[in-house]
Amino acid sequence: MSLPRIAVDAMGGDEGVRVMMDGAAEARRRHDRFKFLLVGDETRIKRALEQHPNLREASEVLHCEDVVGGDEKPTQALRRAKTTSMGLAVNAVKQGDAGAAVSAGNTGALMAMSKLALRTMPGIDRPALAAVMPTLEEDDVVMLDLGANTDADARNLVQFAIMGAAYSRILTGREEPRVRLLNIGTEEIKGTDTLRDAAAQLQAATGLAMSFDGFVESDKINRGEVDVVVTDGFSGNIALKAIEGAARFVTDLLRNAFTSSLRSKIGFLVSRPATELLRHHLDPNNHNGAVFLGLNGVVVKSHGSANAAGVANAVAVAAKLLEENLTERIAADLAELGEDRLRDGQGNGGDAGTAAK
């Protein structure tokens, strides 16, 4: 049985059509049920498809020459939502021509277009950007929000926790993912009033498919002791980039150390299997594919610098969320909590904050 089509913004990302088509073709080779709507310059796409007959036979091309710039402001991009490859890919989900959209373009623009076209689910005030990161254990950790909202009140954080837990259950198969709020300490008295209020609401909630036990500090995110880390987009974006920077720092240190002398080079050859395993584990392409949770549709953001394998992983994320009915799972969890009880928090929702870059 084939899945609903996945709309791919072929023009997004640092290298555009070539990498996006290579990635979609790799995803198609892994899973022959995938079907695609490829949005972008028809001439360039069809030229790329000459190298990928497996993708060509499973795809339809929607011609569009207009592209959202990487440094373009979301408000500017919104004005061209009906003429750009990114906007048309998202609109295909709205119109039912595709089940999900994947883009490696401007994050802020993609969020703005997705929220305008698809709207947020009933019971969700703000969508959140969620991604997975490696841990010391077998399962990855889900973290949100990573930049869709620069601030969040207690109500928003509770909604993020519900959405993140639903996503984690799909990824890990764990019936009650371990959910924690990111804080400067694990003690109940630590953090802001907003964090303590959100923690109190989650502690008091019954019937939710999650295991909530307070706070987690940033140095424990990748230890494998938690399945979902919840925070506002400002803090989450900083934490994510700090973790990515630390990973690059470690790999660069190892590279410098192993090339510093002849003895080091010999040591590298001996330890190469272990270092290759480390490199694979830390490679962001193996965890590529951030998700805008809380929308009436599936939108996945691929990293702009992702290679073909990374794009293939982003496509696979979109397909898995379609197959596992993520949106329906979130709706069921919200119904379990109850809208009236969620509104008892201090927060009052409101418009989303500016997306972090």
Q: Which domain covers residue 275, as residue numbers?
A: 128-289+316-357
Whether residue 132 is found in the same domain as residue 112 = no
Q: Residue 276's pLDDT is what?
A: 54
C-alpha dihedral sign at 97, 306, 130, 134: positive
Whether residue 10 is found in the same domain as residue 139 = no
Residue 152 lies in a domain: yes
Q: How far apart are CA 217 and CA 39, in angstroms?
A: 41
In the sheet with 178-182, reading across from the earlier edge strand, the strands are: 59-63, 36-40, 6-9, 100-103, 298-301, 290-293, 128-133, 141-144, 228-230, 178-182, 211-216
Question: In the numeric block, which tokens belong to residue 4?
Answer: 């609903």
Domain boundary among 62, 84, 118: 118
Q: How far apart are CA 16 and CA 211, in angstroms?
A: 41
CATH of the domain at 195: 3.40.718.10
Whether residue 193 is found in the same domain as residue 338 = yes
Whether residue 208 is found in the same domain as residue 347 = yes
Domain boundary among 82, 100, 118: 118
Q: How far apart are CA 313 and CA 74, in angstroms?
A: 26
Q: What is the pLDDT of residues 208-242, one digit of tens each?
A: 889 998 999 998 998 889 999 999 989 988 988 88
Number of Cβ within a 10 Å radius of residue 205: 18
Residue 304 lies in a domain: no
**Residue whose token pair is 């295991």:** 211
Residue 207 lies in a domain: yes
Q: How many domains does one find in the chain?
A: 2
Answer for the pair 316, 31: CB distance below 8 angstroms, yes or no.
yes
How big is the CA angle at 197 (ends 135 and 193), to the nearest 5 degrees? Answer: 95
Whether residue 224 is found in the same domain as residue 256 = yes
Q: Residue 188's pLDDT is what?
A: 86
Q: How far apart are CA 52 and CA 24, in angstroms?
A: 9
Residue 182 lies in a domain: yes
Instruction: Please tell me whether residue 97 adopts helix, strand or coil conformation.
Output: coil
Q: How far apart are CA 258 and CA 253, in angstroms?
A: 9
Question: In the numeric block, which tokens belong to residue 87?
Answer: 């906007």
Whether residue 80 is found in the same domain as residue 186 = no
Q: How far apart are CA 293 and CA 165, in angstroms?
A: 11
Q: How far apart are CA 93 and CA 110, in angstroms?
A: 13
Whether residue 132 is found in the same domain as residue 101 = no
Domain boundary among 62, 91, 118: 118
Q: What is the pLDDT of residues 119-163, one digit of tens each?
A: 999 989 999 999 988 888 888 899 998 888 888 999 999 999 999
Residue 7 lies in a domain: yes
Whether residue 266 is found in the same domain as residue 285 = yes
Residue 296 lies in a domain: no
Residue 298 lies in a domain: no
Question: In the numeric block, which tokens belong to residue 125?
Answer: 């005030």
Q: How far apart are CA 322 and CA 114, in angstroms?
A: 17
Residue 306 lies in a domain: no
Instruction: Please tell me whether residue 116 adopts helix, strand or coil conformation.
Output: helix
Answer for the pair 151, 347: CB distance below 8 angstroms, yes or no.
no
Whether residue 100 is found in the same domain as residue 132 = no
Q: Residue 344's pLDDT is what?
A: 47
Q: Residue 94's pLDDT is what?
A: 95
Low-confidence ranges of the chain (pLDDT < 70): 1-3, 258, 263-285, 338-357
Instruction: Please tell me whether residue 50 adopts helix, strand or coil conformation.
Output: coil
Whether residue 101 is found in the same domain as residue 166 = no
Answer for the pair 180, 229: CB distance below 8 angstroms, yes or no.
yes
Whether residue 176 is found in the same domain as residue 244 = yes
User: 290 — phi, psi (to 5°)?
Assistant: -85, 150
Q: Residue 91's pLDDT is what?
A: 95
Q: How far apart are CA 341 and CA 333, in angstroms?
A: 13
Strands 298-301 and 100-103: parallel
- Does the pTM exceed 0.75? yes
CB proximity list for 146: less than 8 A, separation 6 or greater:
128, 129, 130, 131, 233, 236, 237, 240, 290, 356
Whether residue 27 is found in the same domain as residue 65 = yes
